[in-house]
Amino acid sequence: MWKSALHLAAKDIKLFFRDRTALSLSLVLPIVLATVFGTAMKGMSGGGSGGGIKALTLVVQDEDRTDASQKLITALTETDGIRVQPETDGRAVVRNGQAAMALVVPAGYGQSLQAGEIPDLLLLKDPSRSLAVQVLSGRMLPALIEQNLDMAKGPAFRNFLGKLGFPEDGMDDAVEIFEGTFASMDLLTSELEAQGAFEEENASEESSDGEGEAEGGAGFDFLNDVPEMLGLRSEEVIDTTNQPASSAGVSHAFAAMAVMMLMFSLVAGAGTLLDEKEQGTLMRLQLIPNARDAILLGKTMLLGTIGLLQLAMLFLFGMFAFDVPVLEHLTEIVVISLATVAACAAMGMLFATLSKTRKQLEGSSTLVILGMSALGGAWFPREMTPDIFQKLGNFTLTAWSMDAYHGSMWYGKKLWPTEVEGSTLAGIWPQIAVLLAIAVVLGLIARWAFRRRFLQRA
Amino acid sequence: MTHALQLQGLTRRYGEQTALRGFDLALERGEFLGLLGPNGAGKTTTLRMISCVDQPDEGAVEVLGLSAATQADAILGRIGVVPQEIALYDDLTALENLEFYAGLYGLQGSQRTERVTWALDQAGLQDRKASRVGGFSGGMKRRLNLVAALMHEPELVLLDEPTVGVDPQSRNHLLEMIAGLRGSVSLIYTTHQMGEIERLCDRIAIMDEGRLVASGTMDELRVQAQSQLGGGQRLHLEDASQLQRAIEILQAQGVAASTVQVGADLESIFLATTGKALRDGDA
């Protein structure tokens, strides 16, 4: 029995290694996915490939334009993990989903510092991007505190202590101790830096700063309370009064699943072309007058039907089970769905026309679809992934489609730009245009491949 | 009146391999032609060119007076091709398959119903029309495969080994169906079953290595092959029972009669014409 079993196993192993699809799915796919996930998670947790941390964009709107505001911006710019993006209308940028957070330095900021008043700063946040907001908040604190060291030398620190309820009669001593403490810390820090003590711990400090402190004090939220004491006010730029707090996540999840499953379904549907080739019906169809382009068009119509049905079912379910705001954005969702289905159908046809067998189609498409889903933001926020991933993500239809769905369902974007609360809310037509362009380009390549590889008539 | 088919000097190369080398063939209207050849002789390539799915590197293909190079769609509307593969949809019923192909050929309304009914009758599948083809036997599928190519009443029919893998009863039914087409179509029939050719075809063309090596009726081929079958003289006997007596007389007269053959069959002619070496090509 053992001899026979070994003989059978040897045969199956030989067949397995001859099956490129099985090989790629079993050996290559796990490595590819682990690489994508590993690199993304490394970036999110602060371990970039170059030893640095993943930089997040902080929009800064400087309305003060003084040396003081410039000094703050310089400190933020030099902060590891923050990429400062100067803008004149930070609210519009966040409202349009182009950044998770914007810092507004209002006119009078420098004057307040000089006057010994707690400066007024405004943080504009996108509540749907809480992870990026939290990470950015934590990273910008050291720069803000550094700015406030200057305050310790002047009357501003007294105001600061006063706001905390510190008794007036002990204020002089407190100021003296505070300045002395920071002077000593400066010396200690310089000494430790000279010994290279911060180089390896930098990243872990970044991640533990916020969480550890937040959990330490009873009722004291480091990330929220300290910024407030430093003069930071927070404001959510998306009006969430008419939608549940979870709706951003739900919308994202449904958009992600919609696009990923659509790609899988339509690639499988396009595989019927290969079935027809294998069972000989394609040859017979070629013998029908004027049927060459009709074959491909007919398959595309099949994929369109499958895709639209699938999306309709998914969003209908999401609307009733998870309050996905479908009816509120029905026109946009229909248009995005049509464009997404067109792009996915063209992609499916391209895969099918470039494959020789259904097995080959399934192997190659699985790799690409999962890769596109990861890069396109279906599994984790794109802004938290390395820059190279974000750039690659721009070449995926997943990213464009999800941008459109999320833009519509969360930010309330219409097809064309609209005026909302005094600022311009971008339309989703660019995403639609890109999806349609993808559909046209992939469709034309698929048509060329179909004629060249499937049709035998010259 | 034009020929049903005229092939002139067809040459077709696939890379290093030459499938056809100046191949000529003509088919009269209403004629049934058997196209024979060992594997790799060029039969399939020839059928592909007639069906406009391939074009020759040199030479010309004229089908029903139309040029295959410039009038492919017009030709396709007037020919019926029965491929060697069973080109049907297993998950559709017999009726649905026939209606699908009828629709593709533009048949509508009562005309479509009439042709579908005719096809089901011809295939002997009227009582199974609502059954999915996936559950059919090989013979049933072959019959359906044949009639599906005849839905649009083609003038020229190409049959590529239409009886492969069927039992004798189904083969007989298929051959009767094909014979029943006589008078309404011209036909080219390829197979390795010599008996089928002898039974159905008016004329036989034998190909080898991309060339036409013999062509004619069975009698003409017998004459052509006589020398290749061993030479000698033919002795015609009115009564076959006199054969032994004839041999005795010949031997008494000192005439050697080492081989006695009562009429060469097509298989003998074919082997004599194309040789006995194994062929594994697929052109």
How close, in Å, is residue A289 to chain B by CA atoms? Answer: 5
- The pLDDT, as a whole number, for residue B62 is 96
Core vs surface per residue A17-41: b (16+ CB within 10 A) or e: eeeebeebbeeebeebeeebeebbe
Q: Give per-residue pLDDT as tens, A41-100.
A: 776 665 544 445 678 899 999 999 998 889 889 989 988 889 999 998 898 899 888 899
Q: Is the pLDDT of residue B219 over 90?
A: no
How close, in Å, is residue A286 to chain B by CA atoms? Answer: 8
> Residue B127 CB: number of other CB atoms within 10 A?
8
How far apart CA A347 and CA A362 sit, in angstroms, is 13
Region B208-230 average pLDDT: 79
A291 touches chain B (CB under 8 A): yes
How far apart CA B96 and CA B82 sit, in angstroms, is 18
Region B258-265 average pLDDT: 58
**Which of B51, B67, B96, B157 best probes binding to A when mutated, by most A CB atoms within 10 angstroms?**
B51
Contact B104 A291 (CB under 8 A): yes
DSSP structure string for A22-75: HHIIIIIHHHHHHHHHHHHHHHHHT--TTSS---EEEEEEESS-SHHHHHHHHH
Vertex B80 angle, CA A283 and A301, to 5°:
45
Nearest to B55 among A284, A286, A458 (CB): A458
- The pLDDT, as a whole number, for residue A216 is 39
- The pLDDT, as a whole number, for residue B31 is 96
Q: Is the pLDDT of residue A398 over 60?
A: yes
Using only C-alpha atoms, chain A has a radius of gyration, in whole angstroms, of: 28
Q: Is the pLDDT of residue A260 over 90?
A: yes
How far apart CA A130 and CA A127 sit, in angstroms, is 5
What are the angstrom distances between the C-alpha of A197 and each of A47, A52, A155, A186, A193? 17, 15, 34, 14, 6
Q: Which residues have a Cβ under 8 Å from the Cβ of B26 and sit 6 or more positions away? A: B3, B5, B6, B7
Region A294-321 average pLDDT: 93
Pairing of strands A121-125, A82-86: unpaired
- The pLDDT, as a whole number, for residue A453 is 86
- The pLDDT, as a whole number, for residue B88 is 95
Look up residue A135 and give its amino acid.
V
Read off φ and ψ for residue A415, nearest 5 degrees: -65, -40
- The pLDDT, as a whole number, for residue A146 is 73
A289 touches chain B (CB under 8 A): yes
Contact residues on chain B for A291, CB-CB shorter than 8 A: 104
Q: Which residues in chain B (54-113) have CB-CB distances under 8 A to chain A?
A: 54-55, 72-74, 76-77, 79, 81, 83, 85-90, 101, 104-105
Nearest to B76 among A281, A289, A455 (CB): A289
Q: Give per-residue pLDDT as tens, B203-214.
A: 999 999 899 988
- The pLDDT, as a whole number, for residue B227 is 59
Core vs surface per residue A248-269: b (16+ CB within 10 A) or e: bebbbebbbebbbbbbbbbbbb
Nearest to A281 among B77, B89, B149 (CB): B89
What angle do helix axes A292-322 and A429-453 make, rounded to 10 degrees?
A: 140
Contact B53 A291 (CB under 8 A): no
Q: Which residues have a Cβ under 8 Å from the Cβ of B258 and sit 6 or more positions away? A: none
What are the angstrom distances between the C-alpha of B144 and each of B41, B163, B263? 28, 12, 37
- The pLDDT, as a whole number, for residue A7 is 85
Look up residue A162 and give its amino acid.
G
How far apart CA A53 and CA A42 sit, in angstroms, is 9
> Residue A452 CB: number of other CB atoms within 10 A?
9
Out of A159-163, A260-264, A382-386, B118-122, pick the least confident.
A159-163
Out of A117-126, A298-307, B5-14, pick the least confident.
A117-126
Higher local confidence (pLDDT), A253 or B260: A253
Out of A46-50, A139-143, A316-320, pick the least confident.
A46-50
Higher local confidence (pLDDT), A456 or A270: A270
- The pLDDT, as a whole number, for residue A218 is 43
A258, A398 contact by CB (below 8 A) = no
Read off φ and ψ for residue B33, nearest 5 degrees: -115, 130
- The pLDDT, as a whole number, for residue A171 is 78
Split at pLDDT 50, 70, 90, the class of A143 is: confident
Split at pLDDT 50, 70, 90, the class of A214 is: very low
Residue of B33, B283, B29 lying closest to B159 (CA atoms):
B33
What angle do helix axes A358-375 and A29-45 make, rounded to 10 degrees?
A: 0
Look up residue B178 and give its amino acid.
I
Q: Is the pLDDT of residue B118 over 90?
A: yes
How far apart CA A336 and CA A409 sit, in angstroms, is 11
Q: Give per-residue pLDDT as tens, B32-73.
A: 999 998 888 899 899 999 999 899 999 999 999 999 999 999
Distance of alpha carbon A42 from its chain centroid, rounded? 15
Region A318-345 average pLDDT: 93
How far apart CA B52 and CA A353 sit, in angstroms, is 22
Contact residues on chain B for A295, CB-CB shorter than 8 A: none
pTM: 0.76
Region A287-308 average pLDDT: 90
Contact residues on chain B for A288, CB-CB shorter than 8 A: 76, 104-105
Q: Is the pLDDT of residue A225 over 90?
A: no
Q: What stretches of B68-126 show up as alpha helix (H) in DSSP?
A: 72-76, 94-104, 109-123
Q: Is the pLDDT of residue A404 over 90?
A: yes
The DSSP bridge partners found for residue A101 are: A125
